[in-house]
Structure 1
Amino acid sequence: MSGLSWGILGTGAIAHAFARAVAKSDSGTLARIGSRTPESAAAFIAKLQADEVAAVASGTSDTKASGDYDALLADPAVEAVYIATPHTSHAQWAVRAAEAGKHVLVEKPAALNHADTMAMAEAARAAKVFFMEAFMYRLAPQTRKLVELIEVGEIGSVRMIEASFGFHAPFNAESRLFSNALGGGGIMDVGLYPVSMARLVAGANDGRGFLDPVSVQGKARLGRTGVDEWAAALLHFDNDVIAQVSTAVSAWLPNTVNIFGETGSLHLAGPWHAAGVEGGSSAIELRRFGKDTQTIDVAQDKWLYEIEADHVADCVARGLTESPLVPMADTLGNMQALDAWRADAGFAYQAESRHQGWPTVSRRALAQRPGAPMQMRAIEGVARPVSALVMGCDNQTTMPHAAVQFDDFVMQGGNCFDTAHLYGGGIMEKLLGRWIEDRGIRDDVVLICKGAHTPDCRPDAVRPQLEESLDRLRTDRADIYFLHRDDPQVPIAEWVDLLNELKDEGKLSVFGGSNWSMARMQEANAYAAANGKQGFTVLSNNFSLARMNNPIWPGVMSCSDDAYRTWLEESGTALFSWSSQARGFFTERAGPDIKADTDLMNAFYSDDNFERRRRAYELSDRKGVHPMTIALAYVLGQKMPTFALVGPRTLAELRTSLDVFQVELSDQEIAWLDLRD
């Protein structure tokens, strides 16, 4: 056997098409076929061996059958895996394949949603294996020629795109096309093609590989099984390209692409299978104002799926972990657009809206990865060590997104979650609580709760808010509790006495203030010491390399000044810093001449902060990390015990934050960054 050796999971029609192409190709061999039964896998191989194409029949003589997917992944003869199982299990087997050290080609859609696709991409990155979504049309000569025509300006700047892919299938509630449990419907079966094409063309218009829409408006007709039977969407891009896309499993559509530019248009009569599954030729019609229509013939010498198999083999041979033509970012962007389409159309799968028993993507028990980078720090009064990075639970609004983010945080070694009664009207606490219960890890995590936010910054609001938060979180206690704001008119004794009552009842362990002044923190601890009570041992104020000049939100406070910092060091108060990376001040989003974000400007723009930013960039160059990593390392490198609240919206953002544990700043470097040299 020679070339890249493949294992195929699944024995449906698309798996058969790809297997025939691999067997015919010079770049790969079929090592093993995996199915749910040995008989199904054996029948699949027999069908290939009976193929009328001699090249296919001869390319399957050594192929083994497997009635167990895990056995296929454990086979050392398998180097790459093509996943052609039902949509709902793509993510599970892609993650497991990556963890087994196999290169991954996963059939479309990569997963049911953007969240699961992130988990697949991160698993591949962690394992350093190749990963690609099997958008075969993107590799076809016709598509490459189309991109070339747009990039050289044959029709001027692109204005509008029309793309459709749909057909009429007889209704069968149990079939893959109509079953909600199998991820059916037009959007996720073939509607992803027009979305992908629109993003490809919009990107080519600016000389980029792809472009993500800034808005997606979607409609769908949901049938009796709850999946979309026909649907349409309007995509708007930041370069003013507008795309109309449509799909169906119960209506005949043109299955064409039209691209309209300022000086002409392009028409593809067969955009999705190009010259055909077994090759041939196709044509692109170029129409320009005042000129005859030009037909551009495009030859395709190889089978369509053979091109795909050869492309993967070439990438692997070159040591690439993603395709330059269908990179991970492209796949993630397409899934995000599809999520937006379905959300606007009011369409979610049953697998995305379970009320209990939410599984991990891999369907394995949640566990920390070997060599997880997270650092842990102790806080007196908290039963277990606390992760130096704290997961902020203020942007997760769906269970797929929340579960994938929280799972990855734990796999990276994190265990501390920050939430508040205020966030999202309670949705974040409910999702977090459900996730903790499903994972059975309440005793392994550290929960931060916050209450008494303005206008309810009153002692009488604390107990009912805390009890409601605990109910949402499905627990009986908070490990750390913060008063979200302070009202200096409230006598300090009322705050301290109330929090001690709640502690004595077992509803919380340690407590402190969030956005509290140093004077009020000191007053609270003086009262507690004089009356034999527990004081404020934790604080959650803004603290970052960039000093906050003006409050980001009403009533918030920083503790970056020298006096506050000295008190924190001397008292040993644990600081949980929010906006520790200054809301993007250390990225390309900020700069003296960049004035798009008025909140960022108001909070952090000043001469001394720009000098700190310049030094962070200089130090980042020397240490080979992002300036944001330097800013985060500055926070975690303080003499007082510090913890940084982070609010990653993607797994990639969390991975970037974890880079902080590869950097250690000296006292001299910290002083230099803070203009103390």
Structure 2
Amino acid sequence: MPSKLSWGIIGTGNIAGKFAAGLAVSKTGKLVAAGSRDIKKAGEFVQKYGGKAYGSYEELLSDPAVEAVYISTPHPFHAEWAIKAAEAKKHILCEKPIGINHAEAMSIVDAARVNKVFLMEAFMYRCHPQTKKLVELLKNKTIGEVRVIQTAFAFNAGFSPESRLFKNALAGGGILDVGCYCISMSRLIAGTANGKDFIEPLDVKSFGHLTETGVDGWAVGILKFPGDILAEVSTGVQVTQQNVVRIYGSEGSIELTSPWFCNGKILLSKGGKTEEVAYDGSGNLYGIEADTVAEFADKLKAASPAMSPEDTLGNMRACDMWRNGFDFFYDVEKDGAVIPTVDRRPLLARKTNKMKYGKVPGVENNISRIVLGTMLEGQVFHRPAAHVLFDEFFRHGGNCFDTAYVYGGGKADITLGQWIKNRNIRKDAVVIAKGAHTPACNPIDLKAQFLQSLDRMKTSYADIYMLHRDNSDIPAGEFIDVLNELKDKGLVKAFGGSNWCFERIEEANKYAASKGKTGFSVVSNNFSLARLVEPMWGGCISSSDADSK
């Protein structure tokens, strides 16, 4: 990078002013542009801090003089503009939280990766020498083995339903505003204690108070990390706390009196004595942050303890877990809500996609060779994750989605159905539904589960229906009879078996031919490049064996 990195600022609020002031005294940066949806505000901003004013963010991103952008809009707009900045080949420093949930963070990180631009979430304390000194103390085991971590970041803003701090539509509340700092610090400390840059919690227990606007007024979480390290995270926008960090080890303790703004002391208590640990605290907090971006821009991610994209993903997931622990969801994340595309563009398949397609008799649409599962195992907030993943799959040319009656106790059916409805793409999508899983693998349950899956998805038909398991105690013809009944009613276009052996498939199709009925046209047995030694789940049949090949 050149000696002076040219910055544009997206959003001209209070925090943008602090960053601009820090940038002015940084070693490596200069402000060349600022954008606001209000050209008057942009003009006032650049009059104070310098640069060119833009009345839209698009105009700023189109300016070739801008090499890096600082995104300081309200939380729900971070993802859209981070993605568009990446597409414009601008390096990105995005104000925390990078998105309102882990799903949005995934999209942003992927956009930066695809477009080969630097990305860092703006936890400015992570770039400061105070935090580097803390990591050094922990690596040297100055207090022995880390046992307990206490972090707090809170303030009392009263209550104003129209304030961004309390507005549901702006993802208000304590956790995303300042509680995310506590999560990031705890993951850093526990990670260092485990010999890593950061580490993810094994479990999160949480409680909180929701205001009348449905955002958290105050909240507390307990995180359990590897090594039995326990962390208490405490936050709020309606409570006054000591905003400190305390770390208790087997041989002593460390306290940061100003962990977030880095203008306090590091206190080391050990052997009955407390001493102040010296570190170089000179330099503007935001200027150091800007210099960190310039230092690592060519490497596309910063070195720890600054936030890397991987660190950000873990932090957002832990924040999701904190919120999920006391049923705190934003309105846009709730069942029935319309979740927009992350970049706010219409959902269309990219013309440059490399997807390959096949055909199944009875199904009108070409079917993408890659089929996307809908179980979303491991995701904290299923609906946001589904919308982000399904959108991206569709844009890459994917149109075939696999769901099942048993997935998530019906959650997969519901989530897929809501996404299809929100995006208005039922005619473009190929839906594979599955049912009659053991022990309910019989013709009666097959029909009942299939109809319930259609109801969950709010669709009048499935393109393909798979029997999830087989029951060799029942003649294959009995299954064929029920499947043909559903097909004749227009409820399914094609059908087949998942985890059916060749002999049973042949039995089913011979019966169908003898009765002038439709037989199996699809089979979905387990396929892997690795040889299946033991089934991952009971009843799984491999399609990677010699006979299948």
TM-score computed with the length of structure 2 as normaliser: 0.95
| AA matched with 1:249 | V
Matching residue within 289, 294, 303 for 2:271:
289
Matching residue within 53, 64, 68 for 1:76:
64
Does residue 193 of structure 2 align to residue 213 of structure 1?
A: no
- Give runs of aligned pairs for residues 287-366 of structure 1, distance below 5 A: 287-290=269-272, 292-316=273-297, 318-324=298-304, 325-353=306-334, 355-366=336-347
What's the offset of the Cα at 1:370? Answer: 5.4
Structure with the bigger RCO (C-alpha within 8 Å, sep 6+) is 2
**Equivalence for 2:25:** 24
Q: Secondary structure at the match of 1:212?
A: coil
Given that 1:164 and 1:245 are in contact with CA atoms closer than 8 Å, whether structure 2 keeps it comes out as yes
> CA, structure 1 residues 228+155, in 2 after alignment: closer, same or farther (shift >3 Å)?
same
Matching residue within 131, 139, 143 for 1:143:
131
What CA distance in whole angstroms lies between the structure 1 residues aligned with 2:447 and 2:394? 30
What's the offset of the Cα at 1:549? Answer: 4.1
Matching residue within 201, 204, 216 for 1:228:
216
**Equivalence for 1:167:** 155
Given that 1:420 and 1:429 are in contact with CA atoms closer than 8 Å, whether structure 2 keeps it comes out as yes
> CA, structure 1 residues 13+274, in 2 after alignment: closer, same or farther (shift >3 Å)?
same
| Larger mean Cα displacement after TM superposition, 219-228 or 348-357 | 348-357
What CA distance in whole angstroms lies between the structure 2 residues aligned with 1:435 and 1:348? 18
Matching residue within 422, 439, 443 for 1:455:
439
- Give runs of aligned pairs for residues 594-613 of structure 1, distance below 5 A: none
Q: Secondary structure at the match of 1:125?
A: helix
- Give runs of aligned pairs for residues 176-575 of structure 1, distance below 5 A: 176-275=164-263, 282-290=264-272, 292-316=273-297, 318-324=298-304, 325-353=306-334, 355-369=336-350, 371-395=352-376, 398-563=382-547, 565=548
> CA, structure 1 residues 264+321, in 2 after alignment: closer, same or farther (shift >3 Å)?
closer
Given that 2:116 and 2:300 are in contact with CA atoms closer than 8 Å, whether structure 1 keeps it comes out as no
Given that 1:99 and 1:123 are in contact with CA atoms closer than 8 Å, whether structure 2 keeps it comes out as yes
What's the offset of the Cα at 1:251? Answer: 1.4
1:637-664 per-residue CA deviation (whole Å, 9 max, x = no partner) reads x6xxxxxxxxxxxxxxxxxxxxxxxxxx
What CA distance in whole angstroms lies between the structure 2 residues aligned with 1:545 and 1:494? 34
Given that 1:24 and 1:306 are in contact with CA atoms closer than 8 Å, whether structure 2 keeps it comes out as yes
Given that 2:194 and 2:226 are in contact with CA atoms closer than 8 Å, whether structure 1 keeps it comes out as no
- Give runs of aligned pairs for residues 612-627 of structure 1, distance below 5 A: none
**Equivalence for 1:12:** 13
What CA distance in whole angstroms lies between the structure 2 residues aligned with 1:474 and 1:354? 14
What CA distance in whole angstroms lies between the structure 2 residues aligned with 1:293 and 1:387? 65
What's the offset of the Cα at 1:460? Answer: 2.4
| Larger mean Cα displacement after TM superposition, 539-548 or 403-412 | 539-548
Does residue 85 of structure 2 align to residue 97 of structure 1?
A: yes
What's the offset of the Cα at 1:323? Answer: 4.7
> CA, structure 1 residues 354+27, in 2 after alignment: closer, same or farther (shift >3 Å)?
farther
Given that 2:79 and 2:105 are in contact with CA atoms closer than 8 Å, whether structure 1 keeps it comes out as yes
What's the offset of the Cα at 1:425? Answer: 2.3
What CA distance in whole angstroms lies between the structure 2 residues aligned with 1:8 and 1:67? 12
Given that 1:216 and 1:340 are in contact with CA atoms closer than 8 Å, whether structure 2 keeps it comes out as yes
What CA distance in whole angstroms lies between the structure 2 residues aligned with 1:320 and 1:442? 39
What CA distance in whole angstroms lies between the structure 1 residues aligned with 2:184 and 2:534? 43
1:188-247 per-residue CA deviation (whole Å, 9 max, x = no partner) reads 111111111111111111231111110111111112222111111111101211111111
What CA distance in whole angstroms lies between the structure 1 residues aligned with 2:125 and 2:534? 52
What CA distance in whole angstroms lies between the structure 1 residues aligned with 2:26 and 2:356? 48
| AA matched with 1:266 | I
Given that 1:515 and 1:556 are in contact with CA atoms closer than 8 Å, whether structure 2 keeps it comes out as yes
* Structure 2: stretches of 5+ with no match in the other structure: none
* RMSD over equivalenced CA pairs, Å: 1.9
Given that 1:128 and 1:321 are in contact with CA atoms closer than 8 Å, whether structure 2 keeps it comes out as no
| AA matched with 2:24 | A
What's the offset of the Cα at 1:102? Answer: 1.4
1:353-404 per-residue CA deviation (whole Å, 9 max, x = no partner) reads 2624321111111233454343333333332332222111123662111111
What's the offset of the Cα at 1:101? Answer: 1.6
**Equivalence for 1:650:** none
What CA distance in whole angstroms lies between the structure 2 residues aligned with 1:553 and 1:199? 34
Given that 1:220 and 1:232 are in contact with CA atoms closer than 8 Å, whether structure 2 keeps it comes out as yes
What's the offset of the Cα at 1:478? Answer: 1.5
| AA matched with 1:392 | G
| AA matched with 2:266 | I
What CA distance in whole angstroms lies between the structure 1 residues aligned with 2:46 and 2:353? 41
TM-score computed with the length of structure 1 as normaliser: 0.77
What CA distance in whole angstroms lies between the structure 2 residues aligned with 1:372 and 1:483? 32
> CA, structure 1 residues 545+96, in 2 after alignment: closer, same or farther (shift >3 Å)?
closer
Q: Secondary structure at the match of 2:170?
A: coil
What's the offset of the Cα at 1:285? Answer: 1.1
What's the offset of the Cα at 1:456? Answer: 2.4
What CA distance in whole angstroms lies between the structure 2 residues aligned with 1:430 and 1:412? 23
| AA matched with 1:340 | M
| Larger mean Cα displacement after TM superposition, 422-431 or 466-475 | 466-475
> CA, structure 1 residues 559+314, in 2 after alignment: closer, same or farther (shift >3 Å)?
closer
1:474-499 per-residue CA deviation (whole Å, 9 max, x = no partner) reads 32221211112222233333222222
Q: Secondary structure at the match of 2:432?
A: strand
What CA distance in whole angstroms lies between the structure 2 residues aligned with 1:431 and 1:206? 37
What CA distance in whole angstroms lies between the structure 1 residues aligned with 2:205 and 2:322? 6
1:323-378 per-residue CA deviation (whole Å, 9 max, x = no partner) reads 54311111111111111111112211112226243211111112334543433333
Matching residue within 70, 86, 97 for 1:109:
97
Q: Secondary structure at the match of 1:220?
A: strand
What's the offset of the Cα at 1:535? Answer: 1.5
Given that 2:33 and 2:46 are in contact with CA atoms closer than 8 Å, whether structure 1 keeps it comes out as no
| AA matched with 1:528 | A
Given that 1:433 and 1:473 are in contact with CA atoms closer than 8 Å, whether structure 2 keeps it comes out as yes
Q: Secondary structure at the match of 2:226?
A: coil
| Larger mean Cα displacement after TM superposition, 501-510 or 516-525 | 501-510
**Equivalence for 1:43:** 44
Given that 1:151 and 1:206 are in contact with CA atoms closer than 8 Å, whether structure 2 keeps it comes out as no
Given that 2:301 and 2:308 are in contact with CA atoms closer than 8 Å, whether structure 1 keeps it comes out as no
Q: Secondary structure at the match of 1:442?
A: coil
* Structure 1: stretches of 5+ with no match in the other structure: 49-59, 276-281, 566-637, 639-677
1:136-165 per-residue CA deviation (whole Å, 9 max, x = no partner) reads 000111110010011011111111111111
| Larger mean Cα displacement after TM superposition, 406-415 or 318-327 | 318-327
What's the offset of the Cα at 1:112? Answer: 0.8
What CA distance in whole angstroms lies between the structure 1 residues aligned with 2:193 and 2:545? 49
What CA distance in whole angstroms lies between the structure 2 residues aligned with 1:442 and 1:391? 16
| AA matched with 1:274 | C
What's the offset of the Cα at 1:2? Answer: 6.9
| Larger mean Cα displacement after TM superposition, 550-559 or 75-84 | 550-559
Given that 2:126 and 2:307 are in contact with CA atoms closer than 8 Å, whether structure 1 keeps it comes out as yes
What's the offset of the Cα at 1:172? Answer: 1.2
What's the offset of the Cα at 1:109? Answer: 0.8
